[in-house]
A and B are shown apart, each in its own frame.
Chain A
Amino acid sequence: MSTILLIEQILNGLQFGVMLFLMAAGLTLIFGVMGLINLAHGSLFMIGAFVAAAGAAATGSFVLGLIAALMAAALFGALIELTVIRRLYARDHLDQVLATFALILIFSEATRWVFGSFPLYLDTPEFLSGTVTLPGGILYSKYRLAIILIGLAVAAGLFLLISKTRVGMRIRAGENDREMIGALGVDISILYTMVFALGAALAGLSGALVGAIQSVEVGMGEPVLILAFVVIVIGGIGSIKGALAGAVLVGLTDTLGRSLLPLLFALFMDPSAATSVGSALASMLIYILMAGVLLFKPTGLFGSA
């Protein structure tokens, strides 16, 4: 494998990782602060993609579609927090899993009811279409590069929000002791709604960005949700830093595994069998990674006990 191809694959892994981070950040924040397992996070990803597609089709502008997607996902996030989720904080995780799983079914069928059974169309915006030549003669998709930059900017913003602002301080405090910050006069229910809406907006952003290069269809959120859970388990539950590290690690492992393992097996097997065995192993790789990390750090890379 040439150096150029390797660098391109590393960029691909980074882009995949950054996209996973946007999903995992909201999931880990909601779990960390509120102790809630939200299986419906993937539905918010789907809502982001559908609203972006519908918005872009209606206005002719990708950027307007993106803004609409962010707002819709945040709005739906706040709405389900107010109507459903807040009844679940005191319940155990099993009840939360059951209720948020029901939300997945409701959102999927509602989306089908509104948009129909057929996939929607969302294309990359004109100014981000095609490729750009990076130093060293690497041809790379402008759009994927933009996803990497947006993701890194969001990561930096989130980090500043949590570590430097008053809201961030309250979020961190809420993570540690929710009764105490309530006693100190912070309105916990508003804080929780805000955190939930923020997490939802991140999922919606991720869905809208990815919708332009993927199929926008009902059920698109579930595979990503599973990966996002793997990411937060690897990174340590409740940690934004962990989510970023875990996401990049999963992105790189998956992408490089898919491209390198079949080549590795081809060294000592016939090509057809090597693709088959290599691909099978590549699809297991991130779970092997997760098991490996948990073996040495049971609470994840940045998790606290």
Chain B
Amino acid sequence: MKWLGLVRANLGRNALRTALTGAAITLAVALVCMLLTMPEGLNSLLDNLTNNTRISVHNKAGVVYAMPYAFTRKVRQVDGVAAAAAMTWFGGAYEEAGRVTFPNFAVEADQVGAVYPDYGIRPEQLADFQRYRDGAIVGRQTMRKYNWKIGDRVTLRSTVWPVTLDLRIVGEVPNERAPMLWLNREYLDQALKAQGRPGLGIAGVIWVRAESPERVNAIMRTVDELSRNSEAETASETEKSFFANFFGSLQGFVTIVLIVTGLVALCIVFIAANTASMAVRERAGELAVMKAIGFTRGIIFGTLLAEAVVLSTVAGLLGVALTMGLTGLLRAFAGWNETLGPLGSFIVTGPVIVQGVFLSLFVGMLSGVVPSWGAARKPVVQTLHEVF
């Protein structure tokens, strides 16, 4: 520890260089952390919003192929099913943008509460959702994005059904990462019938909650067996697998992001190594003198290495702080972006911070070792010759 003074003095002797290197590492660590939050955000979304007792039942051919609504009742009677709710994509566009900016579904108002007890929707809000035909329940993320409050009225124009519905927000899903809006399927059904069309006789996905995680597999088998050889054969899967598949199309993008992240990390190693080797080269004479007056190799190597490690760690910590600031800004600014899907909701999770700090430590080690080792091993006489 008594050498810390030496390390500090050495870092301070060329303040400009130290600052430049530090800034380069800070930015690079911030970048790597930002990029890492994408796949990390995907995972935490899956962990955060999915539940190991929930099952998705949908048509085997695809989510856009519907099932007869009557099948929901059959599913509800299966042994081990605690609750089941039919959900149909409404595809409502809010405001004049004419684009779907958050996912919205027509759901069975009297069932969703029992299927999603983990969402923590207040019971009185669920009761209102059942009582008011035009009621809607909205995820907190979307509430924030548009500054909606309970009691506000919103109008959604469907891009799928030939209807526009006026809704009243009666409840919210208190989860920062919940973007969805639920409306009453009966409301949509009646709106369709009012136009002289057949009503909403279909269900897009039937969400099922099992009484316990052990029952999940048996339920999935039974449900798929029930629909065998019918108009709409189903494929059941756990909620997590459903969403993982749903976001699976983003995996390729995430792969590219990770490759780029690796490159950026390599960049930092380069910059830091460059600086460390410059510092050593400049001080060759001085190091030789130090060795000549009795400093051991170990101390010389240690102090040089410590210099690199201290610099990159401090810079790395700053980088992590910068990431937090930036992602906070992005979140406040962008909210849930439908094109990026879950990648748009940047969340800095613990693991990412740890990775960022470790990355900078690692950079310091890696960039410091080679030049310091070389400097410590050089014979004194040779160095003194070169210098004087």
Do A and B interact with each other, yes or no?
Answer: no
